[in-house]
Chains A and B, each alone.
Chain A
Amino acid sequence: MKKKGLIFLALAVAIATLFLPAVKVYVHSQLGAETAALYPQTVSLWDMAVRPAAGLPVDSIPALGLIRLDGWMLLTGLALMAVGAALPFIRKRGCMHASLAVTCAALGLLATFTLQVVNVSGSLLFTMLLDEVQVFAYIPAVACLAQLVVLAVWMKGGESLDVNDMAWRRLGGVLAVLAALCMLLPGHVVSVPDTVTASPADAAAMNGTLSILQEMTGNEPNLAALAKGEGVFADVLTGDLAALEPYSADANNIRGIFTITTSTASMNAYLVGALALLLLSALLAFLPRVDRWFPLVCGALALVLVGASVTGMLTVSDADMFSTATRQLCKLGVGRITAFPALMLLVCLGSVMCGVLGVRAANEPYFVNPIPQRSRMRAAALFLAAAALIMVLLPGASFSFTKPGKNKVLSTVSMSGWQAMVFKTPEDILSPKDNKGKPIYAEEAGEGELNAHSAADTMGGITRAYGVTVWAALLLIVLGVAMLLRHADKRWPILLFLAAFAMRMGSWLIVSLQMPKVMGSASGTLYLYISLPLLVFAAFFSNFAHMEELPKKYKLFLMMLPFLLAVFLFSYLPLYGWSYAFYNYKFGIPMSEQEFVGLKWFTEMFTNQGHRDNIVRVLKNTFGMSGLNLVTSWLPMVFAIFLNEITHVRFKKCVQVFTTLPNFISWALVFSFAMALFAMDTGIFSKFMLAVGAIDEPVAWLNSSEHIWLKMWGWSTWKGLGWGAIMYLAAIAGIDQELYEAAKVDGANRWKQMRYITLPGLLPTFFVLLMLSISNILNNGMEQYMVFQNSMNKNTIEVLDLYVYNITIASKGTTLYSFGTAIGILKTLVSVTLLFSANFASKKLRGESIM
């Protein structure tokens, strides 16, 4: 009964928030002082959806009539939500499920409407329109989501529909097809306001819808292109923006609208992937022999991709954003989004849900692999080899052309293996042109210079050599695949795949080594690099082609591989950056053209007066502040010993809880506390000091360089004391109680027990921590010092890490990257040495290592 109440509560909240302010309207002063005086004014969702005329004074500002929101979405969404709330009360089979579906639809509509409102209110062109969305605008959609959740939880306890797993599976397949079909529905609507164009006919010519499929293939509307095609907007395109001026203070905004180019020139990878997965999922769903997990997994992956593109939130970068240009159009006020992308997402979700229910309904929970066991290894090898084969045909080499003696890349052209195989080099490579269409290399050149003819000759040679390696790699892989299929000796495919690997490496070396420096650089593309591990794995699996299962040790290794890759990428690959220390590193130049300076930076640390002074200063700070912390590192131990003497359990617990709390807040927050407590004339510390007469006038506690080490020590102790004590408290709990009993019998008092039992019990822990902090003496972090640093105390607060950051990343146009790297190298070496010495000392003294 309670849950039913919750459903209605959600509904009531959704309806009630309709009448609360949702959006604030501003008017640009250029529209006249009278109109501007009417604003800012708040408008509720209800106003926007149902009676825009009443909610917004369209009479005084006709442009406001342009806000065309799909009010029907809001109303229908609410109606569906109400139906969804009412349905569960009909005591019939399936009503709950129907209610769930209906609420899902409602959620889609409400969410899309909210998105519309948010997009329109962010519009730049019509600065007089809606602006500043209030929190209430989001609530109907959130309430609907809450209702959905409650329904789902409720249904879990309810009776099942008694549908068998195959039916669920087929339903999931049908829904996957439907989701794929949703791509044909319009995703965005472009609607150019009449007032922007010279005549209404122009506006009408520009209006239109475009399907998700179009967006997926990169055919997004580009207003400039559209306008050129239709022959409208002539004045705007030529730069005469007078007609538009009332709409925006900034002419650049308007020009921006018309020059938006599609940033997703290539196909939208997410949606292409999603489409492929949805179709695959549907196909697998209807093949009864295939395990039920396969369509489910495909559907779930598709769901993630669709969700990522629809919400635009999980995008890797802007370039992948779901119809970037169109979104921008919406933001600019010349378009809006429809409910259909959300619908697609929901259908996709439904498909996955059906898949899940199907798996749950089945009696057999285990995964059934459709490939017969004896040919699994062979299948894996074949699959990998086939993938590598395809990679051979895809773009494998990319050439960047520069003018002789210049570094700026004027043109980048990639060449596919397919083109190389027919030995027909693209014209762009033979006679490269820059982005204006001008040939990079002149037809006639002076003595010893590069002319177009010799450039074409060189490139022709390189591409022919590339073509030969492509042919070789292709043949080797095909042969390898044939051998694998023939059940021949397993050594053959292995050798062939490895040879193909060598060929791929060879093609990479040929293009990158043969390309003359004066013309630019060449390298392999992603496809080439991906094909290399594929070939290695194909060879690897070929080795086990006659076995039923991969030996366990390799199976485990393969599971481990992604993690090793991550470790390599994020921990070992940066070591390559140590080479910067030997160059005079500058941004934007390939490594091969950086100036090699040998050990210059290392020697400069000691010989260059300015650098040496700085290094000595920051080292002093580093050692000073680390030293203070080191010298007082016994504090947490004493804290723990004395805390242990407290007999009142509640009090003790309380102390422990509250003194640990500061450890869990960030240094930025600590600085907020410092700013409030130690403010020059309003802070409580100043007030207190004034009151007791310790100071006569307010002192700038934070903006001074006095006692900065002590202050920093104070803050780090405040933050770390309670936390540091936990480890010691744990150690105290581990001390044998009988020791205390025996001591008491011997007449030891409390002091003596603390001195002779607790303290010695804690010393090993103390020793380990001390050793660790000695080896970390150079790494005292930089967050703390970064937040507390200002121009007054910079000299005494800058520690090594912070100094490196300050002279490199933090300063624009710096040339000290190499110097910073050199410092980093020395620091790491010293730290590692310290750590090993500490470890050695620990082994000698205690016979136990700390690492």
Chain B
Amino acid sequence: MLLAKENKKQVRHRNRPKLSRGDIAFNIVNYTVFALITLACVFPFYYLFINTISSNELVRLGKIQLWPREIHFENYVQVMKIDGIMDALLVSVARTVLGTLWTVAGSAFLGYLVTKQEMWLRKVWYRLIVITMYFSAGLIPWYMNLRTLGFLDNFWVYVIPGLVSPYNVILVKTFIEGLPPSLEESATLDGAGYTRVFASVIMPLITPILATLCIFCAVGQWNSFTDTMMLMPSGKYYTLQFLLYKYQHEAQSLAALVRTTQDANAMANLATKQTSLSVQMTVAMVVTLPILLVYPYFQRYFVKGIMIGAVKG
């Protein structure tokens, strides 16, 4: 929002004079190039979508390229009936909601705590936390550690380790440090303790940054699938993203699955008959949908978030 406004001002200032021929040529090229880039970014979504709603037979023959034909929604209906999809959806939603709340709540409170100068050995603790951003023990030690702690095949592995995320803590800390200290002081004078100051003074003020963190976290949680792959060896708590990955890479199991879930009457109709391709594409579309739905509303927060993030590299 902010950005657009700034630019508008700038536009009005700079481009009032009449355009020269060079400018016009430049504009034409510029607009065309950006239109093409935008198209390249959007087209795959559209292409996948029309392929899921068109006749599966035509899709198989490669006849659906630019617009849908023989539209039907049987693919979506059938995908919902695949064994395990509903569970995976539930797990995905649960991890997104719980993981986001947990991480954001943790980052907010921790970010507040590290601004308190009077804490015992504050700098030491703060550095201990921040330094973890720059090194990692590596894949195997990480895996073995979670294994030893009993997090394998455990839903909570999606949520609990996210409590402290140094980057978010830095963002919140920077944000709180930018707030006027007088508010907090007056609350303290009124007899409020740290938790109370945090809950009733700080929290309402830092909602913009928390909203940004929420979105980043939620998108990250929704999109991740490698953790499921490594940490769920016995196949419990699969997420939608992981199912999608599995369908892409295990075409055979998918084909078997397609056969078993097939209706007798659906079998007869080639147009709505499920193929492994159609299932894979429809699951992909189902996975994208939540992001496409929330994306337009939260787009401005991304901009804000990355601008705050830019303060600290």
A residues apposed to B, CB below 8 Å? 40, 132, 134-135, 313-314, 316-317, 552-557, 559-560, 563-564, 566-567, 569-578, 580, 639, 642-649, 651-655, 657-662, 664-666, 668-669, 671-673, 675-677, 679, 681-684, 687, 718, 721-722, 726-727, 729-731, 733, 737, 740-741, 744, 749-750, 753, 765, 768, 772, 782-783, 786-787, 801, 804-805, 808-809, 817, 820-821, 823-825, 827-828, 831-832, 835, 850-851
Contacts and interface: CB of A to CB of B under 8 A. Distances in A.
Given A668-B244, A683-B62, A850-B313, A718 B139 contact: no
A787 B229 CA distance: 12
8 contacts: A313-B94, A570-B161, A577-B145, A668-B248, A682-B62, A729-B303, A733-B6, A737-B10
A643 B245 CA distance: 35
A655 B35 CA distance: 7
B295 A661 contact: yes
Contact of B113 (A317, A556, A737, A804): A556
Contacts of B61: 682
Nearest to A134: B81
A139 to B, nearest CB: 14
A729 to B, nearest CB: 6
B141 A566 contact: no
Contact of A646 (B30, B80, B119): B30
Contact of B37 (A134, A655, A664, A831): A655
Contact of A574 (B10, B37, B137): B137
Contacts of A654: 38
A645 B128 contact: no
Interface stretch (B174-182, B202-210, B218-226): B218-226
Contact of B194 (A555, A566, A651, A828): A555
Contacts of B4: 649, 652-653
Closest 8 CB pairs of A and B: A824-B138, A577-B141, A682-B62, A666-B223, A574-B137, A672-B284, A556-B119, A673-B44
Given A580-B144, A662-B41, 4 more contacts: A314-B155, A570-B161, A572-B132, A676-B44
B65 A668 contact: no
A471 to B, nearest CB: 33
Nearest to B143: A809
Given A673-B48, A730-B306, A804 B140 contact: yes
Contacts of A655: 34-35, 37-38
A798 B304 CA distance: 36
A649 B8 contact: yes
Contacts of B195: 559
B40 A574 contact: no
B49 to A, nearest CB: 10
A40 B164 contact: no
Contact of A575 (B94, B137, B245): B137
Contacts of A564: 125, 128-129
A684 B47 contact: yes
Summarize A's interface: helix, strand, loop or mixed.
helix
Interface residues of B, number: 110
A641 B255 CA distance: 48
Interface of B: 2-4, 6-11, 13-15, 20, 22-23, 26-27, 30-31, 33-35, 37-38, 40-42, 44-45, 47-48, 51, 59-62, 65-66, 80-81, 90, 94, 106, 109-110, 113-114, 116, 118-122, 125, 128-129, 132, 134-145, 149-150, 153-156, 160-161, 163-164, 194-195, 219, 222-226, 230, 241-242, 244-245, 248-249, 264, 280-281, 284, 287-288, 291, 295-296, 299, 302-303, 306-307, 310, 313
Contacts of A768: 313
A659 B284 CA distance: 19
Given A668-B245, A765-B310, A661 B41 contact: yes
A648 B34 CA distance: 12
B226 A556 contact: no
B161 to A, nearest CB: 5
B62 A577 contact: no
Contacts of B51: 676
A367 to B, nearest CB: 8
A828 B169 CA distance: 23
Contacts of A649: 4, 7-8, 11
A727 B138 contact: no
Nearest to B37: A659
A668 B80 contact: no
Given A317-B154, A657-B299, A669-B288, A577 B120 contact: no
Contacts of A644: 7
Given A553-B118, A574-B142, A730-B307, A676 B245 contact: no
Contact of B119 (A557, A578, A817): A557
Contacts of A675: 248, 280
B301 to A, nearest CB: 12
Contacts of A809: 139-140, 143, 230
Contacts of B149: 569
B13 A740 contact: yes
A672 B62 contact: no
A278 B132 CA distance: 41
Contacts of B14: 740, 744, 753
Contacts of A652: 4, 7
Q: Max chain A CB contacts within 10 Å: which of B37, B114, B160?
A: B37
Contacts of B144: 574, 577, 580, 817
B16 to A, nearest CB: 10
B145 A570 contact: yes
Nearest to A831: B135
A772 B226 contact: no
Contacts of B59: 682
Given A553-B119, A730-B307, A733-B3, A824 B284 contact: no
B47 A677 contact: yes
Nearest to B294: A664
A563 B110 contact: yes
B247 to A, nearest CB: 9
Contacts of A651: 31, 34
B84 to A, nearest CB: 12
